[in-house]
Amino acid sequence: MQDHLDEMERMRVVLLDAYPLLALDGEEGVGSDGGGGPGLPLRQGGSRRAGGKPCPGGEGHTTSSSSSSTGRAHHLTLDLRGFSPEEVKVSLEGRKLTVEGKYERRTESAEDGCLSYDARHLRRQLLLPEDADLDAVSTALALDGHLCIEVPRLAPKERVIPITITKGPSGAAAGAGAGGEDGAAKKKKKAEDGKVEDGGGGK
């Protein structure tokens, strides 16, 4: 009877371990920090050992991140401690950058045949700014487990301002450019009035 109960307990543990991974299939999360820069929601799976106890860094664990921007690039740092370089994948689709980490360990005790399953699944998606140079994005995983992402910024486009050639002195051009149509009309009327006065004096 006891052996039967032990077997049922082992099956329960295996099902509890498998559930977080099954629940993550196809799950995505895309968001923004409100400023158009890096900083998006985290989708993360659980991690359990035999007995159904959460593992450190697994279920309920929050992965910290920080971001900053300079005149030349945007910088983002993610805390991926517990994942080896082989367990981390970074992909880019359009302006959507995805960071995914998968950790799985199965251990079977030779003494009592107990099966232990440890799994973690981290997924984070970032919407890069519109001025990001997508062809120059680079990543580096430090020894302390921090993933550093550098996103260079595109150089601002130079705009050529056309030059308008005007006749007459610069003052007249400035007056016309400043909406001086009324001023030009007044000058024309004044000149016409002067001609009339000269004509009247001659009679």
Looking at the domain assignment, is residue 202 inside a domain?
no
Whether residues 84 and 124 share a domain: the answer is yes
Which distant-in-sequence residues (6+ apart) come within 8 Å of 59 by Cβ? 20, 45, 46, 47, 48
Domain housing 85: 2-152
Which distant-in-sequence residues (6+ apart) come within 8 Å of 68 by Cβ? 74, 75
> How many domains, the chain?
2
Whether residues 15 and 43 share a domain: the answer is yes
Whether residues 14 and 100 share a domain: the answer is yes
CA distance 67 to 97: 14
Q: Are 25 and 102 in contact (CB under 8 A)?
A: no
Whether residues 173 and 145 share a domain: the answer is no
Whether residues 143 and 169 share a domain: the answer is no
Whether residues 182 and 130 share a domain: the answer is no
CB atoms within 10 A of CB 191: 9
Q: What is the pLDDT along the chain (203 residues), one digit of tens a residue?
A: 555 556 555 554 444 343 332 333 333 333 333 333 333 333 333 334 334 434 334 443 456 778 888 888 999 999 988 888 899 999 999 999 999 999 888 888 777 778 888 888 889 998 999 999 999 999 999 999 899 999 999 988 888 999 998 887 776 555 544 444 555 566 666 666 665 555 555 44
Whether residues 130 and 48 share a domain: the answer is yes
CA distances from 71 to 97, 151, 152, 154, 165 (A): 21, 11, 9, 10, 37
CATH assignment of the domain containing 108? 2.60.40.790
